Chains A and B, each alone.
Chain A
């Protein structure tokens, strides 16, 4: 698979390490009333869709940036690649 890195252009997927579902960006609030339950779901449960999947890849053998890759799990076709930093900021993280 070739991942079109937003900054570096087309890179072989071998340069990356895979983490998992991009929902891992949405870490729950540890001070919330239901934090224990929310962290259980966050850590252990997955949608695991057959079809489009937004997922986190780490460019370990490259610029060490985190990417959010949208990929079809039934064909391995990659349809979009974003910097995870941009995705997280758009969701209100790290302001």
Chain B
């Protein structure tokens, strides 16, 4: 049954007795046409678009834990299309367009809020870089607006404009960027995929791949063997661990990224602000908590929790930018595991094994990519050809020299 305002009123008047589970809890069948490994945002979106756009049937999503328990429920909920390079920006622009129509399409309130993202600049060189980035965004159909100091002051008068070392000189405003309720994305895709017949199988960990004559035949799982015509892996954070079971070594390191939320406050920050002189970004959730984050912890980790020095560093960045944060209490801090790739850009590609496809390497930018990642991965799996906007996300791009290195950092994953 569809969700609507009328339905909410009806249920409110009848004691909320008519709500049903949003998706089924089926036992795995012995065989599927397509198995998606990983029931995060990307895996669920892939299954949904495979069923809706590409008319595939008999699809299963296998999730080790529960839907929404991984990175899709751990990120800082920001969506944006403000990349610089040709290999990236058309992809993220497609993603933002899919976000814009997502709730109507899924019949699910994911609280997509295009409240605007402001990247602050503190030097003349940063302003030049912001202008260049803004032009690249506009050329790819996105939106960008360069603000001077007065323009920033009108939006956010409480920022530390006259800091002696990092004065705020302006910012690049991306009005269509914003935030989305991240759990809602997982639940919305899960429900929409389920309604199109996709089996979402939770508590089902993939322990190995059955590969015969260079072709994948199925997956071994904690709930038994499941045969599959095609297998797509979307388990960012654990990509190396899972693909190693198929004998692949990836250009990826796993790192922990921490995120934070403060106690609830009255409305203070209407959009998203990023500090240009340190790594700190902040928005305010609809419940009132300030949601913010910064750097990864810098060392390889699968622990889903970080250490105190980075917490201190992030909070120092926050204090440098917004001195008013000084008396705000931190409510929670947590960690998630990132696939940090060698050039800071992701992969959506075939592997050397026929019928086995890989989606990963999202660094800490995977959430905003969820719709386009699912769409392009579904396109690749259904047609065996990469989607036009994801053609650069190849696994062999380091061998051929076609890296997509937004920051120009080189093969040092923790610096991307």
Q: Interface of A with B (CB < 8 Å)?
A: 1, 12-14, 17-21, 40-41, 43-50, 53, 55, 71, 73-76
Give, as a whole number of angstroms, the nearest-CB distance from B238 to chain A: 8
B307 touches A20 (CB 8 A): no
Q: Decide yes or no whether B250 CB sits under 8 A from chain A.
A: yes
Q: Mark B252-280, 1 if CB is under 8 A from A, else 0.
A: 11100000000000000000000000000
Q: Decide yes or no whether B301 CB sits under 8 A from chain A.
A: yes
Tell me the complex Cα distance, A46–B309, Å: 26
Q: Interface of B with A (CB < 8 Å)?
A: 238, 240-241, 244, 249-254, 298-303, 307, 309, 342, 398-399, 411-414
Give, as a whole number of angstroms, the nearest-CB distance from B304 to chain A: 9
| Inter-chain contacts of B250 with A (CB < 8 A) | 45-46, 48
Tell me the complex Cα distance, A13–B298, Å: 11
| Inter-chain contacts of A20 with B (CB < 8 A) | 253, 300, 412-414
| Inter-chain contacts of B301 with A (CB < 8 A) | 73, 76
Give, as a whole number of angstroms, the nearest-CB distance from B330 to chain A: 20
B412 touches A75 (CB 8 A): no
From B238, B252, B399, contact of A46 by CB (8 A): B252
| Given contact pairs A40-B399, A73-B303, A46 touches B298 in the complex (Cβ within 8 A) | no
Give, as a whole number of angstroms, the nearest-CB distance from A17 to chain B: 8
Give, as a whole number of angstroms, the nearest-CB distance from B93 to chain A: 28
Tell me the complex Cα distance, A53–B240, Å: 14
| Inter-chain contacts of A12 with B (CB < 8 A) | 309
Give, as a whole number of angstroms, the nearest-CB distance from B247 to chain A: 13
5 contacts between A and B (CB under 8 A): A14-B309, A43-B342, A73-B254, A73-B302, A76-B301
| Inter-chain contacts of A43 with B (CB < 8 A) | 342, 398, 411
B252 touches A48 (CB 8 A): yes
Task: With CB as the reference atom, state the residue of chain A lying closest to B396.
Answer: A40
Task: With CB as the reference atom, state the residue of chain A lying closest to B298.
Answer: A18
Tell me the complex Cα distance, A12–B252, Å: 27
Tell me the complex Cα distance, A14–B299, Å: 11
| Inter-chain contacts of A41 with B (CB < 8 A) | 249
From A48, A71, A74, contact of B253 by CB (8 A): A48
A47 touches B303 (CB 8 A): no
A47 touches B249 (CB 8 A): yes
Tell me the complex Cα distance, A75–B241, Å: 16
| Inter-chain contacts of A76 with B (CB < 8 A) | 301, 303, 307
| Inter-chain contacts of A74 with B (CB < 8 A) | 302-303
| Given contact pairs A40-B399, A44-B398, A73-B254, A50 touches B302 in the complex (Cβ within 8 A) | yes
B240 touches A48 (CB 8 A): yes
Task: With CB as the reference atom, state the residue of chain B lying closest to A50.
Answer: B302
Task: With CB as the reference atom, state the residue of chain A lying closest to B312.
Answer: A14
A13 touches B307 (CB 8 A): yes
| Inter-chain contacts of B303 with A (CB < 8 A) | 73-76
Tell me the complex Cα distance, A1–B299, Å: 11
Tell me the complex Cα distance, A17–B300, Å: 13
Give, as a whole number of angstroms, the nearest-CB distance from B244 to chain A: 8
Tell me the complex Cα distance, A49–B301, Å: 9
| Inter-chain contacts of A19 with B (CB < 8 A) | 412
| Inter-chain contacts of B342 with A (CB < 8 A) | 43-44
Tell me the complex Cα distance, A1–B298, Å: 12
| Inter-chain contacts of A50 with B (CB < 8 A) | 238, 241, 254, 302
Give, as a whole number of angstroms, the nearest-CB distance from A3 to chain B: 11
